[in-house]
């Protein structure tokens, strides 16, 4: 009876999560590497390889549809050992979080077996089986930081140009979000505009295969952008972006709530494409592929996230100070977006669609001030936050440090060579 219970529990151990994260790859050229070694206490140091010449190490991959029990059985662990592992590891880790394509190293000696796997970026669990008893330790892996610079021209899409210059997606999104407060990417980008993105990418220095399902942490630290002859310089400081003079670059509302879209209909009177008669168009429309993420233009509270006959799936957000924004014709809502939910600026709230009284896929976007609709493209919201005194001095020191570190890393995507 006891053995049957063990088999049942072991067979029920969770398999892999079908959603796995993409590991953004950053190439080694034009990078500077600085060690940022994580401190590991003496009791956390890797003890998976005893001083014994008869040691074997083999890697196993949890494929989509496999169970963890099946994988561990194929690695030589018995049902009772798997059951005991699941019970012993609970305080540190929940096996239900295991993702597909997770890799496990199994290290065997004549007296022990050790299972090694990653739980997050640069964090591993070593589960050592000695005389039918599991010893579980959680260890930090040494990492290093690459300093990377990419400089390129924008001929059509900023997103595509940055992708062609080997900029990771999350860095591209950070740059677009930072600049969307003062640049309308649908109307104000001109062919030949120049941009330089300086960013960091953290990588592990050993056992990289164990972290293949986790994205490398990356941080955009500086932007240099020449748009229609005007030069913008932004620096990441205290969790936001500032212009070089210490003025906050972030405004109350972003100019556009999505990336890579085309402005397809302006504010004002027009002939309605479905109803067929002329009436006031109270917002602006953006055309983009179905499923394009829609962002909250500013932080606020969700008043509505529901379906209406005319707007289809729509989100209405209260931003305070009398401002409301409306996002209509969505394909669906992002997780957690419902009445009463609080959102941050740039947070995904839904996905572009073609619901309600809509003749084609698009986002209808409105801005209201004290109950009166206003043209989003004509909003003027210059930031009045300015660093001064000791804060401004510390910021200037921060800028000088960034410029020194990245000066030799400028990358030209057109000729693939470093610039002096």
pLDDT tens-digit series, residues 307-354: 998 899 999 999 888 899 999 999 999 999 999 999 988 899 999 999
Q: What's the pLDDT score for residue 263? A: 63
| For the ranges 100-114, 245-259, 268-282, the one whose mean pLDDT is highest | 100-114
pLDDT category, 84, cuts 50, 70, 90? very high
Q: pLDDT tens-digit profile of 186-201?
A: 566 677 789 999 999 9
Q: Verify that 184 and 299 share a domain, yes or no.
A: no
26 domain residue, yes or no: no
Same domain assignment for residues 136 and 150: no
CA dihedral over 51, 53, 55, 56, signed as positive or negative:
positive
Averaged pLDDT, 29-41:
40
Look at residue 37 and tell me if it is in a domain: no
**One domain for residues 371 and 395:** no
In a shared domain, residues 192 and 226: yes
Neighbouring C-beta atoms of residue 352, cutoff 10 Å: 23
Q: Is residue 94 part of a domain?
A: yes
The per-residue pLDDT for 45 is 40
Mean pLDDT score of the chain? 79
Question: Can you give the pLDDT at residue 53?
Answer: 60
Are 132 and 157 found together in one domain?
Answer: no
Distance between CA atoms of 17 and 299, rounded to whole angstroms?
A: 32
Domain range holding 293?
A: 262-378
Domains held by the chain: number: 3
Q: What torsion, rounded to 10 degrees, do the Cα atoms 237, 240, 241, 247 define?
A: -90
- For β-strands 323-333 and 312-320, DSSP reports them as antiparallel
What CATH number should be reported for the domain holding residue 294? 2.70.70.10
Could you report the per-residue pLDDT of 154-181, keeping only the tens digit for each? 877 778 888 899 999 889 888 887 887 7
* Greater model confidence, 265 or 58: 58
3-state secondary structure string across 220-245? EEEEEEEECCEEEEEEEECCEEEECC
65: left (phi over 0), alpha (psi -120 to 50) or beta: left
Q: Are residues 137 and 8 in the same domain?
A: yes
Q: What percent of the chain has pLDDT over 70?
A: 76
Amino acid 381: pLDDT:
57
């Amino acid at each position: 009876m006891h053995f049957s219970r063990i088999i049942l529990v072991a067979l029920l151990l969770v398999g892999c999560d079908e959603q796995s994260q993409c590991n953004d790859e950053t190439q080694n050229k034009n990078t500077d590497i600085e060690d940022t070694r994580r401190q590991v206490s003496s009791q956390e140091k890797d003890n998976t390889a005893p001083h014994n010449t008869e040691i074997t190490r083999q890697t196993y991959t949890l494929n989509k549809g496999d169970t963890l029990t099946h994988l561990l059985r194929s690695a030589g662990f018995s049902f009772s050992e798997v059951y005991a592992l699941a019970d012993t590891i609970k305080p540190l880790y929940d096996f239900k979080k295991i993702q597909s394509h997770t890799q496990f190293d199994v290290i065997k000696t004549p007296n022990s077996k050790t299972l090694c796997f990653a739980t997050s970026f640069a964090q591993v669990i070593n589960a050592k089986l000695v005389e039918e008893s599991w010893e579980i330790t959680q260890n930090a892996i040494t990492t290093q930081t690459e300093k990377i610079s990419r400089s390129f021209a924008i001929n059509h899409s900023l997103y595509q140009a940055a992708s062609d210059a080997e900029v990771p997606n999350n860095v591209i999104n950070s740059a677009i979000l930072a600049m969307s407060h003062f640049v309308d990417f649908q109307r104000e980008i001109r062919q030949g505009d120049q941009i330089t993105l300086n960013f960091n990418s953290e990588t592990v220095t050993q056992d990289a295969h164990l972290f293949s399902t986790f994205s490398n942490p990356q941080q955009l630290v500086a932007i240099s952008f020449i748009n229609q002859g005007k030069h913008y310089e932004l620096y990441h400081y205290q969790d936001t972006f500032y212009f070089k003079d210490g003025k906050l670059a972030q405004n109350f509302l972003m100019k556009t709530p999505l990336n890579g879209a085309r402005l397809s209909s302006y504010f004002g009177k027009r002939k309605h494409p479905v109803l067929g008669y002329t009436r006031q168009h109270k917002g602006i429309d953006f055309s983009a592929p179905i499923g394009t993420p829609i962002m909250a233009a500013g932080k606020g509270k969700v008043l509505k996230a529901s379906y209406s006959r005319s707007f289809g799936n729509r989100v209405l957000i209260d931003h305070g100070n009398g401002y409301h924004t409306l996002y209509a014709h969505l394909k669906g809502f992002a997780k957690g977006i419902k009445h009463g939910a609080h959102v941050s600026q740039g947070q995904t709230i839904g996905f572009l669609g073609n619901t309600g009284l809509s003749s084609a896929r698009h986002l209808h976007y409105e801005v209201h001030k004290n109950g009166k609709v206003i043209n989003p493209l004509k909003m003027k919201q210059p930031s009045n936050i300015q660093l001064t005194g000791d804060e401004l001095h510390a910021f200037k020191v921060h800028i000088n440090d960034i410029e020194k570190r990245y000066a030799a890393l400028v990358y030209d995507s057109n000729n693939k060579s470093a610039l002096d």
